[in-house]
């Protein structure tokens, strides 16, 4: 298949639905809280009862504008809502209120690992309900299906990319960057597993060198980054096999089955005319003033890409910067430590070392520990002043500060861990250690200079790590070469 793949170019575009973190629905006052009992967050508006009218939630518009600005989109001065007509059991009104030809955001882009991915549009719409299949994992084989309308009417912002991605890896990177952006903005929690961020992938192939895109298939039911990559890889191979055997790819919607690791046909892929869009008669067009847009722009937080660049400007490696930015609570913690005057290099060594190891081992966030930015900044200050050694700092960080929240200075005083910097006191220990290892002295003088580390280690062991390492190193060298 690798040789066959070399004959084709893959074209990928993603449609990402981000569930907005509002307390109520986009056109109704019902709660949007996740995980409550079925059909307890509904109202006559959600159910589409006769005589009820939708009322637009302004916070949804604010979040839409904010995300649009973060995606470098143009925010038109006017947008409107439309009815998207289709029938499905979880759509109580028989249509979905969405945006068609006048969306809230247009013509944007984001940079992903050095490549610009275009954003065609981002539009506001309401979510549908959810079908619960009894007796099977999906509708196939189910005894019967139930409808839960708690999710119906939940606000979504659908972000439609240009078909600019050329591999499953690029698609995953784009999706990961998008999730970081929505989380930093606070407009969506980005949990793919809970469905608050969902992705449909449009995939086609064309011969290398061709400028005409092939027939695309849309892949649904992708609920993780790894599943997105697997689904795209499978679909690429499926389409290549069809073309190589002389067949034609059919425009359709396909469902990804992550257990079977395959896509299967769900329905024919609809075009816009199939939905019979027309302007929503119960909602006036929305006028968005420049003042409104600029007011929201002024509240824009630092975005992930800008944060990564700032960290690298402070001397962090690209890898360290990316890892920290990926975990927003950790990035906010790191920023606070820097604000308190800590040296970036020492701070990042602790965060990427002992702290990251603790978080991974215990499967927690930094906010779940008792470590505060103030305490870590104080610990770093004690090390820089020479009050304690770096090794002692690591020891008390793991043993006391992360789990107990105790201040570094209090731990040092309680345990008597202050660093020994008095040269006379250290020299006495060095002489004792050196004189007790005559064979090693002789070996050192015969050219085994790497034994210097052995003597330094013995002195540090003798002083329980409290001796100033730099002073120990100098004195050991002096005595051995004296």
SS3 (DSSP) at 388: coil
Whether the pLDDT of residue 469 is over 90: the answer is no
The DSSP code for 420 is B
CATH (domain of 464): 1.10.10.410
Domain, as residue range, for 309? 302-415
Q: Global pTM? A: 0.85
Predicted pLDDT at 140:
74
Residue 34: exposure state from Cβ atoms within 10 A (0-12, 13-18, ≥19): middle
What is the tens place of the pLDDT at every residue in 258-295? 888 888 888 765 666 778 899 999 999 999 999 999 99
Q: How does residue 302 score in pLDDT terms, banded at 50, 70 and 90?
A: very high
Residues 287 and 346 in one domain: no
> pLDDT tens for residues 16-32?
999 999 999 999 999 99
> How many degrees, rounded to 5, is the angle at CA 226 between CA 199 and CA 353?
120
> In the predicted model, is pLDDT for residue 199 greater than 80?
yes
- Same domain? For 204 and 146 the reply is yes
The three-state (H, E, C) secondary structure of 335-377, written as one string: HHHHHCCCCHHHHHHHHHHHHHHHHHHHCCCHHHCCCCHHHHH
Largest distance between two CA atoms of the chain: 99
Q: Looking at the structure, do residues 79 and 144 belong to the same domain, yes or no?
A: yes
Rounded alpha-carbon distances, angstroms, from residue 77 to 56, 158, 282, 291:
17, 19, 20, 11
Domain count, the chain: 3
- Say yes or no: 240 and 353 in one domain: no
Closest among 21, 11, 311 to 186, alpha carbons compared: 21
Examine the domain organization and report whether 290 and 306 are in the same domain.
Answer: no
Reduced to 3 states, what is the DSSP secondary structure of residue 107?
A: strand
- Binning pLDDT at 50, 70 and 90, where does residue 453 land? confident
Long-range contacts, 316-322 (Cβ 8 Å, 24+):
316/344, 316/348, 320/348, 320/352
Domain boundary among 278, 295, 312: 295
Q: In this structure, are 313 and 192 located in the same domain?
A: no
Query: Is residue 39 domain-shared with residue 128, that is, in the same domain?
Result: yes
Collapsing DSSP to helix, strand or coil, 223 comes out as: coil
Residues 174 and 320 occupy one common structural domain: no
Do 274 and 342 lie in one domain? The reply is no
| CA geometry: angle 32, 60, 99, nearest 5 deg | 105
Work out the average pLDDT over 161-178.
96
CB 21 within 8 A of CB 34: no
Q: Where does 23-106 have alpha helices with state H?
A: 44-47, 58-70
Are the CB atoms for 64 and 105 separated by under 8 Å? yes
User: How is residue 25 annotated by DSSP?
Assistant: -
pLDDT for residue 2: 66
Contact between residue 92 and residue 80 where contact means Cβ atoms under 8 Å apart:
no
Residue 196 and residue 34 in contact, taking contact as beta carbons nearer than 8 Å: yes
- Tell whether 430 and 386 lie within a shared domain: no
| Residue 22 neighbours by CB under 8 Å, 6+ apart | 32, 57, 59, 60, 63, 155
Buried b (16+ CB within 10 A) or exposed e, 360-394: eeeeeebeebebbbebbbbbbbbbeeebbbbebbb
The pLDDT of residue 466: 73
In which band, very low, low, confident or very high, does the pLDDT at 6 lie, cut at 50, 70 and 90? confident
Q: Give 90-146 pLDDT, tens digit per residue.
A: 999 999 999 999 999 999 999 999 999 999 999 999 999 998 888 877 777 788 889
Q: Is the pLDDT of residue 420 over 70?
A: no
Instruction: Calculate mean pLDDT across residues 390-414.
Output: 87
In contact, 431 and 389? CB cutoff 8 Å:
no
What pLDDT does 46 receive? 93
Token pair, residue 452, equals 């210097």
State which of 393, 415, 437 marks the end of a domain.
415
Q: Are 81 and 279 in contact (CB under 8 A)?
A: yes
pLDDT at 429: 72
Is residue 226 helix, strand or coil? Answer: helix
- Joined together, the tokens standing for residue 418 give 């202050």
For 446, the 3-state DSSP assignment is coil
Question: Among residues 376, 373, 413, 416, which one has the least CA distance to residue 397?
Answer: 376
Residue 5 pLDDT exceeds 90: no
Answer left, alpha or beta for residue 39, where phi above 0 means left and psi between -120 and 50 means alpha. Answer: left
Say yes or no: 271 and 363 in one domain. no
Least confident stretch, 185-199, 361-375, 446-460: 446-460
26 shares its domain with 139: yes
Per DSSP, the three-state class of 140 is: coil
Domain final residue pick, 362, 391, 415 = 415
Q: How far is the C-alpha of 278 from the C-alpha of 269, rounded, in Å?
A: 20
Are the CB atoms for 46 and 39 separated by under 8 Å? no
CB 457 within 8 A of CB 469: no
């Amino acid at each position: 298949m690798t040789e066959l793949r070399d004959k084709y170019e893959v074209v990928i575009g993603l449609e990402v639905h981000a569930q907005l973190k509002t307390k109520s629905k986009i056109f109704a006052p019902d709660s949007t809280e996740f995980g409550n009992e079925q059909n307890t967050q509904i109202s006559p508006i959600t159910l589409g009862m006769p005589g009820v009218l939708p009322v637009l939630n302004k916070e949804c518009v604010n979040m839409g504008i904010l995300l649009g600005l973060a995606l470098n989109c143009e925010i038109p001065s006017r947008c409107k809502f439309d009815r998207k007509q289709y029938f499905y059991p979880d759509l109580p009104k028989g249509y979905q209120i969405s945006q068609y030809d006048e969306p809230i955001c247009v013509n944007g882009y984001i940079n992903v690992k050095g490549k610009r991915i275009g954003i065609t549009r981002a539009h506001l719409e309401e979510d549908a309900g959810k079908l619960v299949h009894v007796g099977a994992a999906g509708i196939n084989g189910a005894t019967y299906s139930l409808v839960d309308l708690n999710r119906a009417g939940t606000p979504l912002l659908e972000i439609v990319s240009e078909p600019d991605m050329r591999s499953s890896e690029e698609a995953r990177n784009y999706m990961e960057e998008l999730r970081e952006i929505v989380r930093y903005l606070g407009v969506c929690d980005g949990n793919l597993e809970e469905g608050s961020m969902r992705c449909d992938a449009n995939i086609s192939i064309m011969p290398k060198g061709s400028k005409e895109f092939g027939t695309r298939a849309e892949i649904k039911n992708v609920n993780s980054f790894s599943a997105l990559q697997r689904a795209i890889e499978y679909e690429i191979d499926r389409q290549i096999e069809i073309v190589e055997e002389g067949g034609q790819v059919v425009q359709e919607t396909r469902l990804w089955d992550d257990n079977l690791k395959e896509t299967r046909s769900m329905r024919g892929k609809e075009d816009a005319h199939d939905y019979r869009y027309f302007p929503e008669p119960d909602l006036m067009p929305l006028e968005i003033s420049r003042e409104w847009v600029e007011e929201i722009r002024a509240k824009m937080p630092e975005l992930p890409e800008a944060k990564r660049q700032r960290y690298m400007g402070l001397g962090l490696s690209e890898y360290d910067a990316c890892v920290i930015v990926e975990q927003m609570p950790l990035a906010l913690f790191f920023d606070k430590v820097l604000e308190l005057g800590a040296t970036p290099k020492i701070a990042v060594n602790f965060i990427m070392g002992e702290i990251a190891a603790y978080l991974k081992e215990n499967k927690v966030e930094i906010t779940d520990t008792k470590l505060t930015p103030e305490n870590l900044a104080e610990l770093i200050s004690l090390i820089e002043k020479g009050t304690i050694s770096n090794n002692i700092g690591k020891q008390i960080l793991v043993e006391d500060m992360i789990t107990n929240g105790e201040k570094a200075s209090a731990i040092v005083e309680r345990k008597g861990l202050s660093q020994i910097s008095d040269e006379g006191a250290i020299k006495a220990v060095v002489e004792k250690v050196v004189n007790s290892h005559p064979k090693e002295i002789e070996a050192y003088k015969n050219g085994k200079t790497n034994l210097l580390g052995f003597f330094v280690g013995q002195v540090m062991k003798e002083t329980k790590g409290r001796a100033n390492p730099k002073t120990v190193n100098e004195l050991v060298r002096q005595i051995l070469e004296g």
